[in-house]
């Protein structure tokens, strides 16, 4: 009898010791992986036990017993969410379970500024480690996603909405491109489409004009004025004479060296708006919301010209005489002063 009591006591002491050890491990930070970071991908529909097995296998939690104890104590067993999780430090099981219960999945934040071409966006895509630039260009070459809005589209130039996207680690180019087109379709609201129809503009014409506005100015208050210049020129049959369209045409032909030269204004391209009247064949970049709005709501002013003030803003004119005075002031005299070393800055425009 004494031996039995002694054995039971030993069992109880052992159980208490094991429980105490387990209790300590539940509150103890642990890191069992050698890499700087460890990812654990939890697919949709996975149960709480397989989640624990994956965490243990990845070295994020010490063992299944510790995981089960922490899960039971936390009461979060039914709240764990699927996703790709990143771990880069020692964490307690409670912290790990809370992270998964909150759905704190790992995402890559990618920002595409307004006014970029497909080729420029592709470089950003690659720089974030999502895949090669060529994959993005290939995905954006398929116009199927925009076919209902623009049957004439040969690719998705102009329709990849510039914004900040939070992307899962394994996002491929095709999936991102679809998301960017979907965002564009949402931004092009029914009100904007109605305004375009009222001005007898197709979606393609609106996006093309908006892309030109986007490339010409970054100032919000100037966008309606720039749109007014080109809208008026289109109305009276005056060539747009837009440098960004020429640059786009040169780039597509592999002839752009970072500067636009006088000879380039004679370059035979449908994007050369010095040589061909009307809008170019399609968008030259991805416009933002403000430029889309400006394209269908241009300022009610009969501006025909504008020239850079070399500070990010422009001087607008209704007559050639007024424009020539602005050119003399903001271009000729400005660069004369630059050469003489009396002021700073750079830039210029022919319009």
Closest by CA position to 165, among listed 136, 205, 138:
136
Specify the pLDDT at position 65: 93
Specify the pLDDT at position 344: 42
Measuring CA to CA, how many Å separate 90 from each of 6, 53, 87, 280?
Answer: 40, 18, 8, 57
Asked if 54 and 40 count as a contact pair (C-beta separation under 8 A), the reply is yes
Reported as a pLDDT band with limits 50, 70 and 90, residue 23 is low
Give the whole-angstrom CA distance, residue 223 versus residue 231: 12
Lookup: tokens for 303: 């501006």
Specify the pLDDT at position 55: 97
Judged against a pLDDT cut of 60, whether residue 122 lies above it is answered with yes
Judged against a pLDDT cut of 70, whether residue 346 lies above it is answered with no
Specify whether the backbone of 328 is left (phi greater than 0), alpha (psi in -120 to 50) or beta. alpha
Judged against a pLDDT cut of 50, whether residue 18 lies above it is answered with no
Q: What is the mean pLDDT of residues 198-212?
A: 97
What the chain holds in terms of domains, given with CATH numbers, is 28-101 (3.30.1490.480), 108-187 (no CATH), 201-303 (no CATH)
Specify the pLDDT at position 148: 93
Asked if 26 and 66 count as a contact pair (C-beta separation under 8 A), the reply is yes
Judged against a pLDDT cut of 60, whether residue 12 lies above it is answered with no
Judged against a pLDDT cut of 70, whether residue 351 lies above it is answered with no
Give the whole-angstrom CA distance, residue 223 versus residue 51: 52
Q: What is the mean pLDDT of residues 113-129?
A: 97
Asked if 271 and 248 count as a contact pair (C-beta separation under 8 A), the reply is yes
Asked if 282 and 157 count as a contact pair (C-beta separation under 8 A), the reply is yes
**Residue positions counted in the chain:** 351
Reported as a pLDDT band with limits 50, 70 and 90, residue 339 is confident
Q: How many Cα neighbours within 13 Å face the side chain of 61?
A: 29
Judged against a pLDDT cut of 90, whether residue 280 lies above it is answered with yes
Closest by CA position to 343, among listed 329, 323, 326, 324:
329
Name beta bridge partners: 237.
Answer: none
Specify the pLDDT at position 292: 98
Specify the pLDDT at position 341: 66
Q: What is the mean pLDDT of residues 324-343?
A: 78
Angle ∠(122,127,132) on CA atoms, nearest 5: 55
Specify the pLDDT at position 1: 56
Q: What is the mean pLDDT of residues 268-295?
A: 96
Specify the pLDDT at position 303: 94
Instruction: Encode pLDDT of 141-180 as tens digits.
Output: 999 999 999 999 999 999 999 999 999 988 999 999 999 9
Give the whole-angstrom CA distance, residue 223 versus residue 290: 7
Judged against a pLDDT cut of 50, whether residue 91 lies above it is answered with yes
Strand locations in 152-263, DSSP E? 164-167
Measuring CA to CA, how many Å separate 141 from each of 123, 134, 136, 235, 287?
Answer: 15, 10, 9, 32, 18
With pLDDT > 90 as the criterion, what percentage of the chain qualifies?
Answer: 81
Lookup: tokens for 327: 């050119």
Name beta bridge partners: 85.
Answer: 40
More confident residue, 176 or 348: 176
Instruction: Encode pLDDT of 44-81 as tens digits.
Output: 999 999 999 999 999 999 999 999 999 999 999 999 99
Q: What is the mean pLDDT of residues 183-201?
A: 97
Asked if 40 and 106 count as a contact pair (C-beta separation under 8 A), the reply is no
């Amino acid at each position: 009898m004494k031996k039995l009591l002694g054995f039971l006591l030993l069992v109880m002491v052992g159980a208490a010791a094991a429980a105490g050890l387990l209790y300590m491990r539940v509150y103890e930070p642990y890191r069992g992986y050698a890499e700087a970071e460890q990812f654990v991908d939890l697919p949709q529909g996975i149960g709480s036990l397989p989640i624990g097995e994956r965490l243990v296998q990845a070295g994020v939690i010490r063992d299944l017993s510790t995981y089960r104890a922490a899960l039971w104590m936390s009461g979060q067993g039914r709240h764990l969410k699927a996703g790709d999780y990143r771990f880069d430090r020692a964490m307690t099981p409670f912290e790990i379970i809370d992270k998964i219960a909150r759905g704190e999945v790992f995402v890559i934040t990618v920002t595409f500024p307004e006014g970029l071409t497909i080729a420029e966006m592709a470089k950003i895509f690659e720089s974030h480690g999502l895949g090669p630039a060529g994959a993005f260009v290939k995905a954006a070459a398929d116009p199927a996603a925009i076919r209902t809005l623009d049957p004439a589209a040969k690719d998705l130039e102009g329709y990849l909405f510039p914004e900040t996207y939070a992307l899962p680690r394994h996002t491929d180019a095709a999936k991102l491109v679809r998301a960017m087109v979907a965002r564009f379709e949402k931004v092009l609201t029914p009100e904007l489409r109605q305004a375009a129809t009222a001005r007898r503009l197709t979606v393609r014409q609106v996006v093309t004009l908006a892309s030109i506005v986007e490339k010409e100015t970054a100032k919000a208050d100037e966008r309606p004025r720039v749109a007014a210049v080109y809208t008026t020129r289109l109305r009276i049959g005056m060539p747009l004479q837009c440098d960004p369209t020429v640059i786009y045409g040169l780039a597509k032909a592999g002839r752009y060296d970072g500067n636009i030269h006088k000879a380039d204004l004679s370059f035979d391209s449908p994007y050369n708006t010095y040589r061909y009247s009307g809008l170019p064949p399609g968008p030259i970049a991805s416009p933002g919301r403000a430029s889309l709005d400006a394209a269908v709501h241009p300022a009610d002013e009969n501006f025909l010209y504008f020239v850079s003030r070399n500070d990010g803003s422009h001087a607008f004119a209704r007559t050639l005489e007024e424009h020539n005075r602005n050119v003399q002031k903001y271009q000729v005299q400005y660069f004369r002063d630059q050469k003489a070393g009396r002021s700073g800055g750079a830039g210029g425009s022919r319009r």
